[in-house]
Amino acid sequence: MGFSVDLNCDMGEGMLNDALIMPYISSANIACGYHAGDEIIMQRTIELALQYNVAIGAHPSFPDKENFGRTSMNFPADEITGMVKQQVELLANIAAKNNCSLQHVKPHGALYNMASKDETLAVAICKAIIETDRSLVIYAQSGGKLIAVAESMDIKTCSEVFADRTYRADGSLTPRTAANALLQDEHTVKAQVLQMITQQTVTTTDGKIIPVKAGTICIHGDGEHAVKFANIIHELLRSGR
């Protein structure tokens, strides 16, 4: 018997393997132009998601194509709200032209990581959801500020865990600048996913076991082993082993 857990991947970011990964996932976070992608890529990615019955979500970012949205930036809260609204609305409009709608919003990169710790930033993102489409689900890091703030503002949430990233003792992801930030071995990835689903915990880089809530599992499409990992996790969720 399998596991009823969502598997998501960041898409429309200019990687060449989107079409290879899409059959294995159940939801796609589509870049909205600020860190990657453009309207043509958004359209193509939505078409691909519809082909495989994959739920569509917006993947808003800081305006940072130069660094793929992974550089921390400081903007006034109302500007953050405006940025997120603009990106979500753009993708929603393209989706509407394809007779479909968005299911969720998952911030990208530095915006995601900062909102997991910064309540003011989390509130700014949640305001963008409320002002755009209150029915959208926020995908955000398990145990982070964005999940807590969204729930306090009556926005639906889905707590996210990561299949291919390592965790620090405080529950945050190991920074990508660290040598051990990414999991590279399929057996380690499978074991981590199983632990997160069945035990609702994850083992940190220093050997501690901390709680997580695995509402959705993320794999990164730009990873070296992305297609292989997507296949392995898809099979694990389907078969339960």
pLDDT digits (tens, 9 = 90+) for 80-132: 999 999 999 999 999 999 999 999 999 999 999 999 999 999 999 999 999 99
Q: Coil, helix or strand for 226?
A: helix
d(CA 60, CA 66): 15
Overall average pLDDT of the 167-184 stretch: 94
Distance CA 137, CA 188 (A): 29
In order, the DSSP letters of 141-209 are: ETTSHHHHHHHHTT--EEEEEESSB-B-TTSPBPPTTSTTSB---HHHHHHHHHHHHHTSEEE-TTS-E
pLDDT higher than threshold 90 for residue 223? no
Contact 159, 142 (CB under 8 A): yes
Which pLDDT does position 98 carry in this prediction?
A: 98
Rounded to the nearest 5 degrees, what angle is found at the Cα of 176, between the Cα atoms of 173 and 177? Answer: 125
Structural tokens at position 104:
């969720």
User: What domains are defined for the chain?
Assistant: 6-164+214-239 (3.20.20.370)
Q: What is the mean pLDDT of the segment spanning 168-191?
A: 94
What does pLDDT average to over the chain? 97
Is the separation of the CB atoms in 158 and 139 below 8 Å? yes
Mean pLDDT on 178-186: 94
Alpha helices in the chain (DSSP H): 18-21, 39-51, 77-97, 109-115, 119-132, 145-152, 186-198, 226-239
The CA distance from 83 to 12, in Å, is 18
Predicted local distance difference test score (pLDDT) of residue 224: 84
Q: Quick one: pLDDT at residue 1?
A: 74
User: Model's pTM, two decimal places?
Assistant: 0.96
